[in-house]
C-alpha cells in the first residue's frame, strides 16, 4: 500500500484544503496527518476528505524536528505501507499520481530546489548549516544545490533507513548541546547527510540507493523559481513540458497561490484582512482574467 504522511500543527481548513483535495483527486494512497493543536472542526473536515489524523507532539521540540520522530513511530506500527511520501502540507499540491511517476524506482528519493541559487547564496539555509555544523561544512556545501527537506519519497526499507539516520543525527546534536532541541530547521541535517555520503552509505548497507532528483523530477519545488509555464486547467509544467506530480512552495508566488486558491477552494486569495470586505467583489474579475489567460495558453 501507498502512504502520504505529513504533519499539521495549528493549521485551519484553508491551510489544508488544497493539499487534501489534490491528493485525494490524484494519488492512489492513504493520507495520514500527525496533528497537534488542531480544532475539532478541522479534524472533522479532514475525515470527510479521507485523511486519517493521529495526535502527536513532543513537548519543547519544534514540529520541524518532532515530525521525524512521529513518522518513524507511525511507520514502525503500520507495516502494511510499502511506498511512502513524507511531505509538508500547507504549501504542497498534487497534479498527478506520484506513486505512478516514472522517476521513482526503489530506493530513497530526495528533491533538489532550483539550481540557479546554490546553498551558499541562500542566507537562511546558509545560517542553518552554520548553526548546526559550522563554517567548515558550510564551505563544503556552499556550491551545492539545496535539497528540500519538505518532500522525501521511498520504499519502506529506504524510508525507515532515512528516518533512522535523521533521528541519530538529531540525538547526537542534542547530546552535544541542548539548544539543538529547540531549533526549527531540519534543512541542515537533511542536506549534510545527503551530500556527505552518510545517508547513501547507510542505504547501501541494506541494498538500497540514494537518488538525488533534479527539480521537477516528480516534485517541482517552486520557491526559488522566477518563471513558470501554466497549461489548462491550471497545471504547472516543467521547462521541457513534462508535468511534475507534486508542486511544493507554490505559495511563495502570488499568481500560483491565487490559481491554487481558485482550483481547490471556497476560499479567497490571502490578500490580508483589510481586503476581506472587498473579496467577493474584487475576485470575480480577477478569476475571469486568470481563466482567460489559462484558456489561451
At 224-253, the pLDDT tens digits run 998 888 987 789 999 999 999 999 999 999
CA distance 239 to 228: 8
- The reply to whether 53 and 79 lie within a common domain is yes
- The reply to whether 176 and 230 lie within a common domain is no
CA distance 87 to 259: 21
Check if the beta carbon of residue 191 is closer than 8 Å to that of residue 169: no
- The reply to whether 28 and 165 lie within a common domain is yes
Q: Which of 176, 203, 219 is the last residue of a domain?
A: 219
pLDDT of residue 273: 39
Domain holding 41, by residue range, is 2-219
- The reply to whether 126 and 234 lie within a common domain is no
- The reply to whether 200 and 278 lie within a common domain is no
* Residue whose C-alpha is closest to residue 148's, from 51, 41, 64: 64
- Phi and psi angles of residue 127, each rounded to the nearest 5 degrees, phi first: -65, -40
pLDDT tens figures, 185-238: 899 999 999 999 999 999 999 999 999 999 999 999 999 998 888 987 789 999
Kindly indicate the confidence band of residue 178, based on its pLDDT and cuts at 50, 70 and 90: confident
Any idea what the Cα angle at residue 228 is, between residues 223 and 231, rounded to 5°? 130
- The reply to whether 190 and 233 lie within a common domain is no
CA distance 238 to 244: 7
Domain count, the chain: 2
Whole-model pTM?
A: 0.88
- The reply to whether 211 and 253 lie within a common domain is no
CA distance 199 to 210: 7
pLDDT of residue 269: 46
Residue 17 grid coordinates: 484544503
pLDDT tens figures, 53-84: 999 988 888 888 999 999 999 999 999 999 99
Amino acid at each position: 500500500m501507498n502512504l502520504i504522511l505529513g504533519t499539521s500543527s495549528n493549521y485551519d481548513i484553508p491551510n489544508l484544503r488544497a493539499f487534501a483535495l489534490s491528493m485525494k483527486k490524484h494519488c492512489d494512497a492513504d493520507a495520514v496527518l500527525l496533528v497537534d493543536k488542531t480544532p475539532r472542526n478541522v479534524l472533522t473536515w479532514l475525515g470527510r476528505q479521507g485523511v486519517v489524523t493521529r495526535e502527536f507532539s513532543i513537548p519543547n521540540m519544534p514540529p520541524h524536528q518532532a515530525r521525524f520522530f512521529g513518522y518513524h513511530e507511525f511507520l514502525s506500527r503500520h507495516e502494511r505501507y510499502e511506498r511512502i511520501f513524507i511531505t509538508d502540507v500547507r504549501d504542497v499540491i498534487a497534479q498527478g499520481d506520484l506513486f505512478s511517476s516514472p522517476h521513482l524506482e526503489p530506493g530513497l528519493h530526495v528533491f533538489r530546489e532550483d539550481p540557479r541559487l546554490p546553498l551558499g547564496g541562500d542566507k537562511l539555509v546558509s545560517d542553518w548549516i552554520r548553526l548546526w555544523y559550522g563554517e567548515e561544512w558550510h564551505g563544503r556545501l556552499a556550491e551545492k544545490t539545496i535539497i528540500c527537506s519538505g518532500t522525501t519519497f521511498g520504499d519502506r526499507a529506504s524510508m525507515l533507513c532515512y528516518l533512522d539516520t535523521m533521528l541519530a543525527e538529531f540525538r547526537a546534536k542534542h547530546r552535544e548541546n541542548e539548544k539543538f532541541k529547540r531549533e526549527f530547521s531540519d534543512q541542515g541535517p537533511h542536506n549534510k547527510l545527503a551530500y556527505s555520503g552518510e545517508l547513501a552509505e547507510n542505504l547501501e548497507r541494506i541494498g538500497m540507493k540514494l537518488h538525488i532528483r533534479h527539480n521537477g523530477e516528480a516534485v517541482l519545488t517552486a520557491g526559488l523559481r522566477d518563471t513558470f509555464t501554466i497549461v489548462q486547467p491550471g497545471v504547472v509544467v516543467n521547462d521541457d513540458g513534462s508535468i511534475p506530480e507534486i508542486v511544493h512552495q507554490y505559495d511563495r508566488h502570488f499568481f500560483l497561490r491565487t490559481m491554487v486558491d481558485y482550483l481547490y477552494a471556497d476560499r479567497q486569495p490571502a490578500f490580508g484582512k483589510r481586503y476581506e470586505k472587498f473579496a467577493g467583489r474584487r475576485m470575480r474579475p480577477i478569476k475571469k482574467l486568470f481563466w482567460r489567460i489559462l484558456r489561451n495558453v
